[in-house]
Amino acid sequence: MNKKQNISDSVIHRLPRYYRFLAELSAQGVNKISSNELAERMGTTASQVRQDFNCFGCFGQQGYGYTIAMLLEELAKIMGIENSRKAILIGAGNLGKAIAGHITFSKLGFELIGIFDNSKTKIGKDIFGFRVASIKKLKAFCQQNNVEMAILCIPKEQAANVVETLYSAGVRGYWNFSHHDLKSLHDDIIVENVHLNDSLMKLSFRFVDL
């Protein structure tokens, strides 16, 4: 049985944050850290930190702490960011362009290999080295290239149709910027949603705290 199964969502949520803080410390030349120090930076408790790392078989040394390089390596393995899963992006609008240009996919477990759109004004245009392809070529491309993940930067109304095409071509991972609830379409897909509107509404709500 894989040790990554049965890990709670809240632990999964903390993993990238651990990775980010530790990578920062490493870049500053720090080699070791105690669970207390790490907890303080993360705004959590030392016992939480130890419990999280124990989940994955990472143990610190009493009175010595954790070796940062080792933790980083272990976290990278756990999160699978050393992989290079083939990814494509659908929707070459402003958001799609920003994602294509802003994200260093190769450091996060993926390789971006194509960009697709359904608009004649976008197809054929060059975006960060990719020639935008017609959505009509989506299915064949995914099958030929074993695409595992799709980034959806498309309007909500188009999401269900596009996902059907992708699903039938074997794509099972979705980084979803559309507002469609993809999990309602298929049980056996994995989805990570980025709901920018929700995030802004939460910020609006929090103004009451000021």
The whole-angstrom separation of Cα 196 and Cα 199 is 5
Closest CA to 147 of 126, 162, 129: 162
x/- string (CB under 8 A) for a copy of itself, residues 116-155? --------------------------------xx------
Q: Does position 28 bind a copy of itself by CB under 8 A?
A: no
Contact 49, 31 (CB under 8 A): no
Place of tokens 């991972």: 173
Kindly tell me which residue out of 39, 46, 108, 160 binds a copy of itself, with binding defined by CB under 8 A. 108
Contact at 8 Å (CB) between 122 and 97? Answer: no
Contact flag: residue 86 with a copy of itself (CB under 8 A): no
Inter-residue contact 42 to 14 (CB < 8 Å): yes
- Given 83, 106, 144, 161, the residue binding a copy of itself (CB under 8 A): 83
Enumerate residues 171-190 that contact a copy of itself by CB under 8 A. Answer: 172-173, 175, 179, 183, 188, 190
Q: Which residues contact 108 (CB under 8 A, 6 or more apart)?
A: 81
60: phi then psi, degrees, rounded to nearest 5: -80, 170
Determine, following the binding rule CB under 8 A, whether residue 202 of this chain makes contact with a copy of itself: yes
Q: For the CB of residue 100, give the shortest distance to a copy of itself in the complex, in Å.
A: 8
Which residues sit at the interface with a copy of itself, rule CB under 8 A?
2, 4-5, 12-13, 15-17, 19-20, 43, 78-81, 83, 85, 93-95, 97-99, 101-105, 108-110, 148-149, 172-173, 175, 179, 183, 188, 190, 192, 194-210
